[in-house]
Structure 1
Amino acid sequence: MAAALFAGALTAPAQAQDFGLEELRAGVFYHSAYGGFLPTGPNWDLTRLEDVKFAALFASPDIAAFEWIGSPRAEIGATLSLAGRENLVHANLNWQIPVFDTPLYLELGFGAAVTDGALTGATRPARNFGCSFNFYEAAGIGAHVSDNVTLTLRYEHMSNLEICQPNDGLSNLGLMIGFKF
């Protein structure tokens, strides 16, 4: 369904803008690339390049509250495992911060995600999430390759922040290409 949405929006940019759609992205991700929340240590595992990710980013609403928090864009997306591992669907706010007067940008996202992964009883390399509903965080660095194309290296993390037990969480790393309208 995400692929059909992606293809349809590319063929009808004017219709996509009617819904406030600003950018569609697709990419490939390493599944469970890091064994924690903040990727600061040696716990990297880049052996499972097996996920595809699709995301749609919408224009920031013209509302004072959104302007007050930095005019984030709404984002919906999905990370799908092609190897039968955990999938996730997320909705979040996405902040894109320009890096001075360059085509580069930093990106931060925060929201919620739902997974079809095991709640308990899974054996490694599968994860035990404790509950299906989780928090979603993302960070990235990207570049405006042209007026209509972006390229973003993105790290995403999903966990329940110890609300449920267990809380293995999931951290993926990947590269996405975006098409802006």
Structure 2
Amino acid sequence: MVKRLWAVLAGLALCCAPAQAQSFGLSEVRVGVAAHDAYNGFLPFTSENYRFNGITDLSFDAIFRSPDLDAFRWIGSPRPRIGATVSMQGLDSIAHAGLLWQVPLGDTFYVEAGFGAAINTGSLGETEMPSRRFGCRIGFYESFGVGANLSPSATMTLTYEHTSNNGYCPYNDGLSNIGLRIGFKF
């Protein structure tokens, strides 16, 4: 499964060359690193649940322009997004797709939130730590970020991402990563 994720990432990278980006509706590509399973829970509010065991994951996002449709304007003009977070230590990896809402805070800073679905490479049943017991292969995907526009064509975003099945499967350990992503706008 990890080899498939790498193949998807390589394919996305090839299609995202600047000359091709406009024809795909691509507005931004982000690459970064993340602390794997850095928080035990859904929303990162209590400090005792953090565990930073090192930066072990690579992440990639392709963010597209919001479609010019009334339905998208009605829900706040989110941008479609696909991406992946791949463990470089052979632990759980995810690929995700969904929508990303971004709210500017002046000219430089912004906050964002995303929602969608993710597919994971983790265990569906019993396993030993540090692997997670996802219970099912597909789950929900949520992300939150705080970022800055470094230039007209570059961004930097501190991102929290979480995937779990919300209790719909026998196990629901979930996975929460915290990372930093550099974006390149087209």
Counting only pairs closer than 5 Å after superposition, residues 28-177 of structure 1 correspond to structure 2 as 28-41=33-46, 42-99=48-105, 101-177=106-182
Counting only pairs closer than 5 Å after superposition, residues 20-31 of structure 1 correspond to structure 2 as 20-31=25-36
Normalised TM-score (structure 2): 0.92
Q: Among 5, 12, 16, which residue is 2:12 paired with? A: 5
Q: How far has the Cα of 1:14 moved from its partner? A: 3.3
The answer to which of 38-47 and 171-180 deviates more is: 38-47
Q: How far has the Cα of 1:8 moved from its partner? A: 5.6
Gaps of 5+ in 2: 1-6
Q: Deviations 1:112-162 (Å, cap 9, x if unpaired)?
A: 000010001111111000000100000000001000000000000000000
Normalised TM-score (structure 1): 0.95
What's the % identity of the aligned pairs?
Answer: 52
Give aligned pairs, total: 178
Q: Distance in 1 between matches of 2:107 and 2:185?
A: 18
Two-structure CA RMSD over aligned residues (Å) = 1.1
Secondary structure of the corresponding residue to residue 145 of structure 1: strand
Match of 1:14 in 2: 19
Q: Distance in 2 between matches of 1:25 and 1:46?
A: 22
Gaps of 5+ in 1: none
